[in-house]
Structure formats: structure tokens, C-alpha cells
Amino acid sequence: MNYFPWLTIIVFLPISAGSLLFFLPHKGNKLIKWYTICICILELLLTTYAFCYHFRLDDPLIQLAEDYKWINFFDFYWRLGIDGLSIGPILLTGFITTLATLAAWPVTRDSRLFHFLMLAMYSGQIGSFSSRDLLLFFIMWEFELIPVYLLLSMWGGKKRLYSATKFILYTAGGSVFLLIGVLGLGLYGSNEPTLNFETLANQSYPVALEIIFYIGFLIAFAVKSPIIPLHTWLPDTHGEAHYSTCMLLAGILLKMGAYGLVRINMELLPHAHSIFSPWLIIVGTMQIIYAASTSLGQRNLKKRIAYSSVSHMGFIIIGIGSITDTGLNGAILQIISHGFIGAALFFLAGTSYDRMRLVYLDEMGGMAVSIPKIFTMFSILSMASLALPGMSGFVAELIVFFGIITSQKYFLMPKILITFVMAIGMILTPIYSLSMSRQMFYGYKLFNAPSSYFFDSGPRELFVSISIFLPVIGIGIYPDFVLSLSGEKVETILYNYFYR
Amino acid sequence: MWAFPNILLLSIVMIFSLDLSIQQINGSSIYQYVWSWTINNDFSFEFGYFIDSLTSIMSILITTVGIFVLIYSENYMSHDEGYLRFFAYMSLFNTSMLGLVTSCNLIQIYIFWELVGMCSYLLIGFWFTRPAAANACQKEFVTNRIGDFGLLLGILGFFWITGSFEFQDLFEIFNNLIYNNEVHFLFVTLCASLLFAGAVAKSAQFPLHVWLPDAMEGPTPISALIYAATMVAAGIFLVARLLPLFIVIPYIMNLISLIGIITVLLGATLALAQNDIKRGLAYSTMSQLGYMMSALGMGSYRAALFHLITHAYSKVLLFLASGSIIHSMEAIVGYSPEKSQNMVFMGGLRKHVPVTQIAFLVGTLSLCGIPPLACFWSKDEILSDSWLYSPIFAIIAWSTAGLTAFYMFRIYLLTFEGHLNVHFQKYSGKKSSSFYSIKLWGKEEQKIINRNFRLFPLLTLTMNNNEQPYTIGGKKEARITITNFGCKKAFSYPHESDNTMLFPMLILLLFTLFVGAIAIPFNQEGMHLDILSKLLTPSINL
């Protein structure tokens, strides 16, 4: 057994190293950037090392567990630990955050604060993915909102204050329900609060109470995930934010909602979940169609990508709602896969925005000649986003389809109907994503400005896009990379549904 | 020069596939090998290959056509900016096509199916600065996605019924289920028609044929490779592969032949009135694919595959010849496809491009079904099978064979006979008229070009030929307006293409002449067996 507090170090390293940023000498932005990048890479390496040597894949239980008493009088523990469900998102967080920091290279305004906030977000996200205590989960969840809010409100487009306010109102509103749910679960039944996930997972509640808890958590996670009709903050926020923030939002933050849905709603409240799962599936299907057709009507490039991520999140919800081994595996794979693809698309949209300075799609056009590298990467990744075989999105969506088909819970007709409607989403996806790439790059255009010469992407941008592209194609060709991480845990979660 | 490794590797593949088909002819057996792709507790996908006679036929077709098209495009694309990109796309396409025909389960078919669609998206959008190409490639992808939607749902449906993706297991389990009457009939029919929808989109059959003419925006070698021989054959391949499945579901076969026969007629009538040489050939491809599809629906598996082979070689020959014409016309009329591919400007090319003319003529004759040439044998088989199937279908197929001869010779005569019209466009008495037209019956004397115009508005195609400056990359293309037509010396005439382009055409000409022989029975020791029957017998019994 290993007693070295790996996870605590991993959680605390970015924020504590980030606070040192304020003590660095004022020697320009370069030092700050390099320092932040080094911290990010160090953190990623540390995470990978710890998981490589101290995490066993065949064990569905909590590993690298830590348990320190923190606040005595209401039994609040500092409990950390990871299992097959959380290892994927944690690694994704490390990867995307490092690349987002690299993508944020051109940020010069208040770069000290910016980079500190990035690192603070890093800590908060890893903290919430690795916490094993309900209240700690809530605290981490809230803690990570502050840097996001500041990032949104200080860097970005013209309407950034509006969108940041919208974001914080939505998520804070959701957090109220999360807090109610956390306290309700913790205080139910016994005199002293039980906040440990393991004990909670074995507890059973009256059905009515469980449904109430479930609704509370569902609202909180639906805001974050997002699930319609609580998604409206997302296009605004993505449309205005700086693209490195967008990468974090699309790559990690949205996945926290889905993660919470599996971790709390599915694992702790199985009865309510099996009652609610048909509704989840219906909502997920509607979301795929609705968001895909809304995306078509967007003029703003980033909003279009934002709606495409809403549409892709529908697959996760359906996978979670299908209550099958296959479906849940597909949902987890989609969490990882969309984390990469969404982040990469936002990054490429942002870099081409840096060059064109045009927001609306109908004003663009003919960029392929001047920026061929960005064009190539954008085409590849929009192909990945429309689930081309060989890319990770395809495998995830295919497995979700199988999850629905093999589900024991539903009858034939609803299954046919759901699959049919989901597959219509498959037709809508290429319409918006290919027309996006066509409007941006294809055709020709005369630029009136004399300085219409664009630089193609430099080595830094190329590095970022290629390093996102590699795992996308890697997972697409050999999906067992991710499936082997989560397989055992998924089986344990689903065991509850059939044998209890 | 970069074409060389491509050609070399593809030739190696061709040798392998030749070897495979010789083995198939001698002792036909099915080879199958699978690896596991993902293993989980609940599900596992497999990857592997499945080789039978159908695979060997298709792989020989793909590799031979692919090699000739690559040799051809070495020269055709040599001055293009995207030369390297072109060969990269071509290789990707050939890979995915070979992957498609060797797949051993439906998931693998779906994967390569989509990859083929993506390659053709890239290849149609090869000249991405042209807005027409940009629109056409998206149209192609979305239309094919509608087919893929059906294909995926069909695969899922059959998985739900039988629990397997592997072809042999699937056929076996399904036959047992049908035998024991354990399946819901309506659901099975639905799933099978959804599967068929995939083939409809890929093979440009009736409701989903809309992408094929627009796909001619790509470079001509691509039209030859993809839209004449390989990709459009994928739909035929899928139906042929799943024929043991379809044949036990009654209404599906009728649906297939109905869709096929509608496409035959529709493609032929559309081809009658095209101005653009490539679009004319595209619609003719569609019509011929309809023949194959209806033959499959009638259950004559052998005739359909035979027509697939003969048509592929003839049509590739025609496309390459038309590419050669376009190449030589481009030098005179400019690089806009609206001009260089327009038959209005052609005519009398026989004198200038004699080798191309011979190649085109042989292709035309073959496609019309003139006896010693390839398509005669296969079309004949299809027509006779259709008489046995249903007289109405047979009459349609029959009369369409006549239409085929009509539109093919219309294209041939407009292109090669008469006078070169580029220089005559200003001689027309009605210079001020903005319309320029070809009648269905061909070009009339230039002076009376508009006389009967109002009488046959439906039969007349018009094109707005002037005052639309075509721009590429912001630069105005120099429009050819011959101002000094009094001086004959200023006229330039089209030249014959280079030898690297003529060589593959000549080889394909030989193929067109002799490929029909594989189905001619040679009488040896009382056995009336031709090569094709030898190759295909076991598949029919599968």
C-alpha cells in the first residue's frame, strides 16, 4: 500500500505554484508564460507518473485513497481517491489545460492574473474529479466557478460581461440545487452527517425522497452539462470568451456535468435513475436534433461550434440513460472524445479569428489559400466532429447506439424510434460542420485591405492542434485505450441495477 | 514523379489480387480471418478480412482501373498546385475502397463506406477555390450521409435480430430464423430497405442520385476512377454481398429491381439533354448502374457483376478520353469547366485528336452494346434475364438500351464530327442574343441557330455564355473572345495529349475489346464453363 499523498499534491500543486506568479519579478510576460507552461507540464507528468505506477486497471475500487479529518464537528473529511470513472477526465484535464495554456500565448493583458486563474481552474477541476466526499465535491465544484467567471468577464469579446453574468447566474442557480441535494443526502437517516461516497452508495432511500434528490442533482448537472432547456448560457459564453477559456469550457467544464451525472445520480441514486432514464433518453435525443438544427442557423462561428457541443452532449446523456454496460462505456468515451474534439475546434476557430478578425460566417470565405495548415487541421477535426470512422467520435457514438439497441429496459418500438431520431442527428451533423468549413475556407475572396496577407499557423499552434489530433485518431483506431480504463468500474456501477 | 510509388504499390496489390482470383477460379473457397478490435465485457468488435470470388473480382477491378487512372493523372495533374495532395487523396481512396471489399463484417463495411465517402468529398472539393466545387462536395457528403444513416440503422436492426455482424453467421442465423418463422416480417423488411438505402446513395440510384452530376466538379481522373468504376460500384457490391440476406425477404428484391429500372430510364433521359460532356457521361453511368441494380433485384447475380466489370472498363475509357478532350480544349477556351467541358464549343475534334477519338468511339460502341465489345455480352445477359422476370421491366430496359445508343452517339458526334465551334461563336447571325444552345438532335447550322428556338423550349438547352467573368483566387481569368476572326492564323487548334495520357487509354481500349471474353463459354471436354461462372458459382450457393 502506498501512503504517499499523491492526489493531494496533484490537487494543490497548480494553485500553490500559481500563487507564486504574483511574486515573480516584473520582467514581461514571457517569464510568466514559461513558468505556467512548466507548472502545467510538471503537473501532467506527475499525474501520469502517479497513475502509471500506483493505479491498477483491473481494480474497480477506489485507489490512491486519502482520508484526513478536516473539520471535526460535522465529520468533514478531506477524502480523495480515483477510480476508473475519474481517471479519464483527470488525464483529460491535465492534457487540455496544458494545451490551453499554450494556446493562450498571445494573451498580454493582465497575463499574470490570467495564468494564475488558469492554474487555479486546473486545481479546482482535478479536485472535483478526484474528491470522494460529497461536501468536498461541492466545494471544489464551486471553487472552480470563480476562476471561470473571472476569465470570462475579463478576457474576450465585447459582450463578455453580459455572458459572464449569464454564466454565473445559471451555474450558481444550479449550485443551489446541488447544495440542497448534498445536504439532503448527507443528513438523511442518521444523526451525524455521512458524506462519504462509499457509504452513500450502499444506502437506500424512500422512493419519493430519492426522486427529489435526483431532481435536485439533475438540475445542477443539467446546467453544467448542458441539457436542454438549461443550455442557453453556453452559446453566449462560448461566443464571447477567449478561445483558451473556450477550450477549457468545452473540453473539461461541460464534462464535469456529465461526470457528476454518472458519479452521483447514477451511482448513489439507482432507483430514481431507473425511473428517470427514459426521460433522460428522450431529452438527449431532442437535444441532439434541436442543437444540431439550431447550429445551422448561427451566424457566429463560435456559437455554431458551441451548439455542436450541445448536440454531442446529447449522446452522453443517452448513454447514461440507457443503463447498459455498453451505453455507459460509450458515454464515458464520448466524454473523453468530445473533450478533445470540442477543444480543438474552439482552438482552431480562435486562431483563425485572430487572423481574419471576422466573427460572422457569411463574411468569411476563401481562407484556404492563405492559411492551408489551419484549413487542413480544421477539416480533419470537423470530420472528427461529424463522427468519421477512424476518429474517436465515431467509436463513442457507435457504442452509444449499441447501448440503446441492447438495452433490456426498453421495448422495441421506443428503441426503434429513439435510434431513428438519433441517426437523423447523424445527417444534420455534416450539414452544419461542413458548411461551417465551407463558409470559412472554400471559395475565393478579394480582401480590400492592403494588408491582406495572413500568416499560416506557426509551430506553436501546429503543435497544439496536432497534439489534440493524435489522441483523437488514436482512440478512434484503438478504443481500448479508454475503454480499458473505465470497463471495470462501469460494470460495478451497473451491478447495482440488476442485483439489488 | 510522386505518382510512381503509388503506382508501384498498387501494382503489388494488383498482383496479389490476381493471385487471389486465380485461386478462386481453381478451387473456390472462402478465406476469413478476424482479429479482435475492442473487447469489453458486454460487446466486442472484430476486424479482419473475408475473401471470396466477389472480393477478388472487385479488387482486380479497383487495382487495374486505379493504376491506369494514376498513370493518366501523372500527366493530367502535372501542372496543378495540389499535385501531391491529389495523389495522397487517391491513395487514401484506393485504400478505403480495397478495405471495403475485403471487409468481413458489417461494422467494417460501414467504416470503410464512410471513409470512401470522405475521400470523394475531398476529391470533389479538390479545387476548393471554385464555389461550385465547394457546394458540390458538401452536397455529395450530405447525400451520402443520408444513405449512411440508412445503412447504420439497417446494420443495427440486423444486429438486433441476429446478434451478429459477421456475414456468414448473419446469413446462417437469419435463414434459420426465416425458416422457423421467428422474425417480425415488417421489421425485417424495414431493416433491409434501410440497408438498401445505403447502396442507393452510393450507387446514385433514383431518389438519391442528385449528387452524381455535381460531383463532376472534381478533376477528370477522379470522375473516371470514382464515379465510373469504383465508388459507385460500392453500392452494387453491398447489395451483391448481402444478396443471400435480401433473397429470403420477398419484397426487397422487387424494390431493388424497381429502383434499378427507374434509375435506368431516368439516367438515360437526363443524359439526353446535357451540354457538359462529363455530366452526360455521369448520367449515363447512373443509367448503367440502374441496369446492374435491377439485374441484382431480378436475382441474376452473375449478369449484374459481369456488367459491373465491362461497364467499369468502358466507362473509365470514356472518361479518360473526355479528360483528354477537356485537356486539349482548355488551352483554347480557358480553364473554366463551363467552357472546356461544354460540347457547344467542341466539334470536329476528329482531325485534331485522332487517338482520343478512336478510344472514345470504342467506348461509345461498347456502351451501346455493339457485338464484339465488352458491354454487349453483359447487357445482353441482363436484357434476356429481364424478359424472364417481367415483360414491363424488359420493355423499359430494352428501349433504354436504344436511348443509350442515342445519347452516346449524340455526345460522340457533337464532340468529334462537324466543325470546331470555338471559332464560330461570333459568326452566328444573332450576335446580340445571349443564348447559345444545342438541340437535343445536335447542332444545326450556325446561322439558323435561334430559328426553332421557341418551338422546342423543352428540348432546347440554353446557356448563358457571355458576360460573366470567371474569377479564381481574385484574378480575372482571361476570357477568350476572338476579336480578329478575319485572320485565320490567329486560331489555335486543340492538340493531342501526351503519351502518358494516351497509354492508359490504349490499354483500357484493349480491356474494352476483350474483357467480354471472360464470360464466353469455351467448350472444353464437354464442360460449358466460362471463367466468370467458375468464379461465381460458389457465391451463389452461399
pLDDT reading at B387 higher than 50: yes
Map grid coordinates 480523495 to a residue.
A80
Q: Averaged over B152-157, what is the pLDDT? A: 92
Amino acid letter, B56: S
Sequence-separated (6 or more) residues with CB below 8 Å from residue B526: none
For A326, name the nearest residue in chain B, comparing CA atoms only: B42
Choose the mutation target among A315, A322, A398 for the interface with B, i.e. most B CBs under 10 Å.
Answer: A398
Residue B210: which residues within 8 A CB-CB, separation 6 or more?
A: B139, B143
B486-514 core/surface letters (b: 16 or more CB in 10 A; e: else): eeeeeeeebebbeeebbebbebbbebbbe
β-bridge mates for residue A196, sequence order: A133
Q: What percent of chain B has pLDDT over 70?
A: 83
Residue B441 pLDDT exceeds 50: yes
Lowest mean pLDDT of B108-117, B291-300, B328-337, B444-453, name the range. Answer: B444-453
pLDDT 10s digits, B304-332: 988 998 999 999 999 999 988 888 888 77
Give residue B456's pLDDT: 39
- A442·B114 Cβ contact <8 A: no
Give the mean pLDDT of chain A. 88
Residue-wise pLDDT tens digits, A118-147: 999 999 999 999 998 888 999 999 998 999
**What's the angle, vertex CA A469, arms to CA B113 and CA B155, rounded to 5?**
25
pLDDT of B464 over the 90 cut? no
| A426, closest residue in chain B (CA to CA) | B149
**pLDDT given for residue A95 in this prediction:** 94
User: How much of chain A exceeds pLDDT 90, in percent?
Assistant: 46
| B525, pLDDT greater than 70 | no
Handedness of CA B398, B400, B406, B408 (dihedral sign): negative
pLDDT in the model for residue B483: 43
Q: How far is CA B210 from the centre of its chain?
A: 14
- Residue A499: pLDDT band with limits 50, 70, 90: low
Lowest mean pLDDT among A84-93, A216-225, B224-233: B224-233
The residue type at B460: T
Does A394 contact B at CB distance below 8 Å? yes
More confident residue, B535 or B525: B535
Band (B481; pLDDT cuts 50, 70, 90): very low
For residue A384, what pLDDT band results from cuts at 50, 70 and 90?
very high
Closest residue to B38, CB basis, from A431, A438, A483: A483
Q: Count other C-beta atoms under 10 Å from residue A159's C-beta.
A: 12
**Nearest Cβ partner of A427 from B118, B142, B159?**
B142
> Among candidates B126, B125, B101, which has minimal Cα distance to B113?
B101
* Among chain A residues, CA nearest to B163: A406
Which ipTM was obtained for this model? 0.91
Beta bridge partners of A63: A82
Contacts of residue A434 in chain B, CB cutoff 8 Å? 121, 138, 141-142
Whether the per-residue pLDDT at B113 is higher than 80: the answer is yes
Residue A218 falls inside a structural domain: no
CB contact under 8 A, B111 and A438: no
Q: Does A401 touch chain B (CB under 8 A)?
A: yes
Q: Number of folded domains in chain A? A: 1
Q: Mapped to the 3 state alphabet, what secondary structure does chain A carry? A: CCCCCHHHHHHHHHHHHHHHHHHCCCCCHHHHHHHHHHHHHHHHHHHHHHHHHHCCCCCCCCEEEEEEEEECCCCEEEEEEECHHHHHHHHHHHHHHHHHHHHCCCCCCCHHHHHHHHHHHHHHHHHHHHECEHHHHHHHHHHCHHHHHHHHHHCECCCHHHHHHHHHHHHHHHHHHHHHHHHHHHHCCCCCCCCEHHHHHCCCCCHHHHHHHHHHHHHHHHHHCCCCCCCCHHHHHHHHECHHHHHHHHHHHHHHHHHHHHHHHHHHCHHHHHHHHHHHHHHHHHHHHHHHHHHHCCCEHHHHHHHHHHHHHHHHHHHHHCCCHHHHHHHHHHHHHHHHHHHHHHHHHHHHHHHHCCCEHHHCCCCCCCCHHHHHHHHHHHHHHCCCCCCHHHHHHHHHHHHHHHCCCCCHHHHHHHHHHHHHHHHHHHHHHHHHHHHHHCCCCCCCCCCCCCCCCCHHHHHHHHHHHHHHHHHHHCCHHHHHHHHHHHHHHHHHHHCC
pLDDT-wise least confident of A274-278, A303-307, B372-376: B372-376
pLDDT (tens digit per residue) in A242-265: 899 999 999 999 999 999 999 999
**pLDDT computed for residue B418 by the predictor:** 77
What is the phi/psi pair of residue B165, to 5°? -110, -20
| DSSP secondary structure letter of residue B93 | H
Is residue A393 within 8 A of residue A385, CB to CB? The reply is yes
pLDDT in tens, A397-413: 999 998 898 888 888 88
Is residue A269 one of the residues assigned to a domain? no
Q: Tell me what pLDDT residue B432 has.
A: 38
Q: Does A434 touch chain B (CB under 8 A)?
A: yes
Burial class (CB in 10 A: 0-12, 13-18, 19+), A25: exposed
Bridge partners, residue B471, by sequence: B476
Residue A396 lies inside a defined structural domain of this protein: yes
**Disruptive mutation site among A318, A392, A416, A436 for chain B (greatest number of B CBs within 10 Å):** A416
Chain A residues with CB inside 8 Å of B129's CB? 366, 368-369, 442-444
Distance from CA of B269 to the nearest CA of A (A): 30
pLDDT at B429 over 60: no
Q: Is residue B310 part of a domain?
A: yes
Mind listing the pLDDT tens digit for each residue in B189-206? 999 999 999 999 999 898
Cβ–Cβ under 8 Å, residues A267 and A493:
yes
pLDDT score of A421: 92
Would you put residue B259 in left (φ > 0), alpha (ψ -120 to 50) or beta?
alpha
Please report whether residue A141 resides in a domain.
no
Looking at residue B196, what is its pLDDT?
Answer: 92
| Predicted local confidence at residue B467, as pLDDT | 38
Average pLDDT over residues B32-45: 78
Cis peptide bond prior to A229, omega within 30° of 0: yes
Is the pLDDT assigned to residue B187 strictly greater than 60?
yes
A379: nearest CA partner in chain B: B122
> Three-state DSSP class for B396?
helix
CA distances to A155, B270, B461 from A160, rounded to whole Å, are: 7, 55, 55
pLDDT (0 to 100) of residue A198? 80
Q: Does A406 touch chain B (CB under 8 A)?
A: yes
Per-residue pLDDT, averaged over A108-118, amounts to 89
Q: Does B16 touch chain A (CB under 8 A)?
A: no
Segment B357-381 shows an average pLDDT of 88
Q: Is the pLDDT of residue B447 over 50?
A: no
Scan residues 140-179 of B and list those with Cβ closer than 8 Å to A: 141-142, 145-146, 148-149, 152-153, 156, 159-160
Judge whether residue B465 has pLDDT over 70.
Answer: no
3-state secondary structure of B523: strand
Average of per-residue pLDDT across A107-124: 90
Could you give the percent of chain B with pLDDT greater than 90? 29
Residues of chain A found within 8 Å of residue B158, distances taken between Cβ atoms: none
List chain A residues with CB under 8 Å of B160.
Answer: 405
In a domain, B432, yes or no: no
pLDDT 10s digits, B237-283: 999 999 988 988 878 999 999 999 999 999 999 998 888 888 999 99
A445–B42 CB contact, under 8 Å: no
Helix (H, G, I), strand (E, B) or coil at B203: coil
Give me the pLDDT at residue A178, please.
92
Which residue type is seen at B377? W
Asked whether the beta carbons of residue A444 and residue B472 sit closer than 8 angstroms, the reply is yes
Instruction: Report chain A residues whose CB lies below 8 A from the CB of B148.
Output: 426
CB atoms A389 and B115 under 8 Å: yes
How far does the CA of residue A442 sit from the closest CA of chain B (Å)? 5
Say whether B102 sits in a helix, a strand or coil.
helix
Name the residue range of residue A407's domain: 274-499
Q: Mean pLDDT over all residues of chain B?
A: 81
Which of A329, A430, A487 is closest, CB to CB, to B145? A430
In this prediction the pTM is: 0.89
Closest CB to B40: pick one of A329, A388, A416: A329
Closest A-chain CA to B111: A389
Per-residue HEC secondary structure of A145-192 comes to: HHHHHHHHHHCECCCHHHHHHHHHHHHHHHHHHHHHHHHHHHHCCCCC
Q: B466 falls in which pLDDT band (50, 70, 90)?
A: very low
Selecting from B40, B111, B471 the residue whose C-beta is nearest the C-beta of A389 gives B111
| Dist. CA B456–CA B463, nearest whole Å | 15
Tell me the β-bridge partners of B522: B529
Contacts 24+ apart (CB under 8 A), A204-213: A204/A271, A205/A269, A205/A271, A207/A271, A207/A272, A207/A275, A209/A184, A210/A269, A210/A271, A210/A272, A211/A272, A211/A275, A211/A276, A212/A184, A213/A181, A213/A184, A213/A185, A213/A269, A213/A272
Inspect the interface and report whether the beta carbons of B128 and A442 lie closer than 8 Å: yes
Query: What is the C-alpha separation between B347 and B344, in angstroms, rounded?
Result: 8
Q: How many domains does chain B have?
A: 1
The amino acid at A242? H
Quick: pLDDT tens for A306-360.
999 999 999 999 999 988 888 999 999 999 999 999 999 999 999 888 887 888 8
Residue B194 covered by a domain: yes
Count CA atoms within 13 Å of residue A294 on its CB side.
18
- What was the pLDDT predicted at B472? 41
pLDDT of residue A38: 93
Is the confidence at residue B478, as pLDDT, over 60?
no
* Of residues B83 and B469, more confidently modeled: B83
**Structural domain that includes position B192:** 3-423+497-536
pLDDT, position A309:
92
How far, rounded to the nearest angstrom, does the alpha carbon of residue B463 sit from its chain's CA centroid?
26
Residue A366 Ramachandran class (φ > 0 left, ψ -120 to 50 alpha, else beta): left
Q: Does B412 touch chain A (CB under 8 A)?
A: no
Residue B451 lies in a domain: no
What is the spatial distance between Cα A76 and Cα A14, in angstroms, rounded to a whole number?
24
What number is the average pLDDT over the span B350-374? 87
Note whether residue B459 is domain-resident: no
Mean pLDDT of A201-214: 86
Q: Is A442 on the interface with B (CB under 8 A)?
A: yes
Please state the rounded mean pLDDT for residues A264-270. Answer: 89
Collect all residues of chain B within an 8 Å Cβ-Cβ radius of residue A326. Answer: 40, 42-43
Closest-CA distance, B143 to chain A, in angstroms, reads: 9
Question: So what's the pLDDT on residue B458?
Answer: 37
First to last CA, chain B: 45
- Whole-number pLDDT of residue A37: 92
Residue-level pLDDT at B491: 58
Best residue in B128, B135, B211 for a mutation probing chain A (most A CBs within 10 Å): B128
Whether B272 has its CB under 8 Å from any CB of chain A: the answer is no
Among A32-41, A306-315, A445-454, the least confident range: A445-454
Q: Do B40 and A383 touch (CB under 8 A)?
A: no
CA angle at A84 for the pair A79 and A86, rounded to the nearest 5°: 55
Alpha carbon distance A169, A174 (integer Å): 8
Indicate whether B154 belongs to any domain. yes
Examine residue B481 and state whether it is found in any structural domain, yes or no.
no
B379-409 as b/e, with b when 16 or more CB fall inside 10 Å?
Answer: bbbbbebbeebbeebbebbeebbebbbbbbb
